Amino acid sequence: MNALPPLPGRPLPLPVPDPRADGLVLDYEGMHALVADLVLPDGASMYAMSALETSRELIRHSYYRYEFATVAVTHALFALEHVLAERLAVGIDHPLKGLIEQAADAGLIAAELAAELDRSRLLRDRLTRGAVTSADLGPTGAVELVRAVFDAVSLLLRPSPTAEAPAAGMSGAPCEDRLARLSEEHHRAPYPASFRGVGIDGVELILLDADVAGHVDCELNGGLDDHGIAVLWACIAGLDKAVPLINEEYCAACFARLRTMAGLAAARHIPAAT
């Protein structure tokens, strides 16, 4: 590779640390430890590997340019979109929000991980609309979101279950077991205290929580009637509006799990393709 010739009589300046990253690490070497656990997953395509590696290096170099941290998150989503579309066997033009939801509903990624991925998706959308700038996120926050993408890609690249597993799934038992497990987890988890009485985009969260949990219980204990199914689909529409706008991690994870539960319960009433 040919290097640029030095300017006549003037040495090239050394990069200067961005003062906004002051206190994060002692020096640039400290950035290596910050991204050390962002290990490229095995089996990814060259496209996905390139996007993930670039996102990791952008975080590392945010020591010199703070905005690189936010850009790193948006760049990692390129890899996520391609891997999701490939695993779900759909076109790459599908909206990322829908791809994440499909992967969660299919049990390919956990609801909590899906919520983290959607936080990155929402950041990208806000950046596209000009609602935030590239300085919205610092290196530490970027590491958390990019790590979620690395984790999701690793999970999505795992080999498909053996032939015996789909055969067992035809009975619907694995889906029912997962719905029951998620419902139990939801009942055990305390409701986010700071979100009591809070509405988002016209959606009352605590009422939505009660409606979905109650209808899932009905589905697990005998099945929903037509009215219950209609209410559940209305709840799903409310969740799809509210979940991307929740900016508190625990609350976002709770309602992402609720969305997965609602999707699993509703999917049992979709007629099979003929």
Residue 9: what pLDDT?
64
Over residues 214-255, the pLDDT tens digits come to: 999 999 998 889 898 899 898 888 888 888 888 787 788 888
More confident residue, 27 or 268: 27
The model's confidence at residue 171, banded by pLDDT at 50, 70 and 90, is very low
Q: What is the pLDDT of residues 72-117, one digit of tens each?
A: 999 999 999 999 999 888 877 889 998 998 888 888 898 889 999 9
Residue 166 has pLDDT above 70, yes or no: no
Q: Which one has a higher pLDDT value, 218 or 192? A: 218
What percent of the chain shows pLDDT beyond 70? Answer: 87
DSSP calls for the chain: -PPPPPBTTBPPPPP---GGGBTTBSSTHHHHHHTTT-PPPTT--HHHHHHHHHHHHHHHHTTT-TTHHHHHHHHHHHHHHHHHHHHHT--TTS-HHHHHHHHHHTTSS-HHHHHHHHHHHHHHHHHHHTSS-TTSS-HHHHHHHHHHHHHHHHHHTSPPPPTHHHHHHTTSHHHHHHHHHHHHHHHHSPP-GGGTT-EETTEEHHHHHHHHHHHHHHHHTT---HHHHHHHHHHHHHHHHHGGG--SHHHHHHHHHHHHHHHHHHHTTSPPP-
Task: Supply the mean pLDDT for the chain.
Answer: 84
The reported pLDDT for the residue numbered 77 is: 96
pLDDT value of position 168: 36
Query: Residue 176 above 50 pLDDT?
Result: yes
pLDDT tens for each residue of 129-157? 999 999 998 999 999 999 999 999 999 98
Q: Is the pLDDT of residue 120 over 50?
A: yes
Long-range contacts of 85-93 (CB under 8 A, 24+ apart): 86/45, 87/156, 87/157
Task: Using the predicted structure, report yes or no on whether residue 2 has a pLDDT greater than 70.
Answer: no
